[in-house]
Amino acid sequence: MNCLFCKIVNGEILSEKIYEDEAAFAFLDIHPLSPGHTVLVPKVHAENILDLPEAAVGPLFLAVKKVTATLNLALKPHGFTIGINHGKVSGQAIDHLHIHLIPRFEGDGGGSIHSVVKNPPQESVVAIKEKIIKFI
C-alpha cells in the first residue's frame, strides 16, 4: 500500500511517535499549528470514518481520550480543538482517517470549529431533520 500514514504506522517512515496501542498510532504533526499538535490514526487503513470498521471505532476514540489526557498533563494547554477533515473539500490531504489533537492556548489566534465554514442552510432546521431521520 502506498499510504503515507500506513508507512508511518509500519515504521517505514520515521515519525515523532508519542503513543501506540493495538488500534491506534499517534505522532506529532510535522507542520504543527501549536505545541503538541498531534495526528492520531487507526492502524487499520480506512479512508474516512465511514470506512472504519465498527469494531475499530471505540478503541480509536479511547486512544484519542488517552492521548488528549497525556498532552494535557505534559503541556498544560487551556483547551483543545479535536477534529477530522473528512474528504478533500474539508481539507483532508491524506486518504487515511486521521484525527488532529490541537492543544489550544489563550491568545493563540485560533478560532472554534464554528469558524471553519460559513454556509448556513437555506432550509429550516426541521426540514433538514426530516431528511436525515429517514435514514436512521
Residues marked active site are found at 98
Name beta bridge partners: 28: 38
Using alpha carbons, list the distances in angstroms from residue 102 to 9, 30, 55, 62, 136: 20, 13, 26, 17, 32
Name the residue with cell 488500534: 23
